[in-house]
Amino acid sequence: MLRGLILFTLLAQVTADSWGGLCAGNPSNKVRGTDKFGSGAYGASRGSRKHKGVDVVCRDGSTVYAPFSGRLVRRENPFGNGNAIDNGVRLEGSGHCVVIFAFAPDRYTGNVSKGQKIGRMLEMQSVYPGITSHVHIQMCDTSINPTRYLRIRGGGTP
């Protein structure tokens, strides 16, 4: 009985902590595996640097959703070079602060609810032909690994 209660409490916490699906067509937040440009895992090698976020598989043109309820704060330009995927947004709320990029946000400020459409995946294939197209998400504090929040219960994320 007690064990069941503890398990229930743990599961409830995991569920409460878990983010929603980021991209239409990928409800379990499947993470990009290794392709010729590298791996989508947090901390993966990027030459002399490390990958600061997690790449969630997302086909070009797909709808992108808010992973949790919060407030859009500002535009983010991750590449700073104006390429076709140099767009994104900062989202704060529900105890988290993240930057999501490689998509075209519908807007850059204002409140959003978990699961609400916030934009559309950009044409990543035009910049990196053959890559596994993906939305990149990282914590504002990039020393934190966001992977555990992306694991959706029953989703079977590898």
DSSP 8-state symbol, 125: G
- Site track 72-111 with Zn ion (rule: CB under 5 A), x = hit: ----------------------------------------
Residue 10 CB-density burial (10 A; 0-12 exposed, 13-18 middle, 19+ buried): exposed
Residue 32, interface with Zn ion (CB under 5 A)?
no
What is the nearest approach in angstroms of Zn ion to the Cβ of residue 119? 17
Binding segment (CB under 5 A) for Zn ion, from list 1-9, 104-112, 124-132, 134-142: 134-142
| Closer residue to Zn ion, CB minimum distance, 31 or 152 | 31
| Closer residue to Zn ion, CB minimum distance, 3 or 36 | 36
Q: Which of 58, 118, 136, 150 binds Zn ion (CB under 5 A)?
A: 136
Contact indicator for 113, 78 with CB cutoff of 8 Å: no
| Closer residue to Zn ion, CB minimum distance, 44 or 69 | 44
Report d(CA 23, CA 118) in Å as an integer. 10
What is the nearest approach in angstroms of Zn ion to the Cβ of residue 55? 4
Report d(CA 78, CA 34) in Å as an integer. 21
End-to-end CA distance of the chain: 32
Residue 52, interface with Zn ion (CB under 5 A)?
no
Residue 58: name the closest of 92, 27, 18 by CA. 27
Report d(CA 131, CA 41) in Å as an integer. 14
Binding segment (CB under 5 A) for Zn ion, from list 14-22, 103-111, 128-136, 148-156: 128-136
Query: Interface with Zn ion by CB under 5 A: which residues?
Result: 55, 136
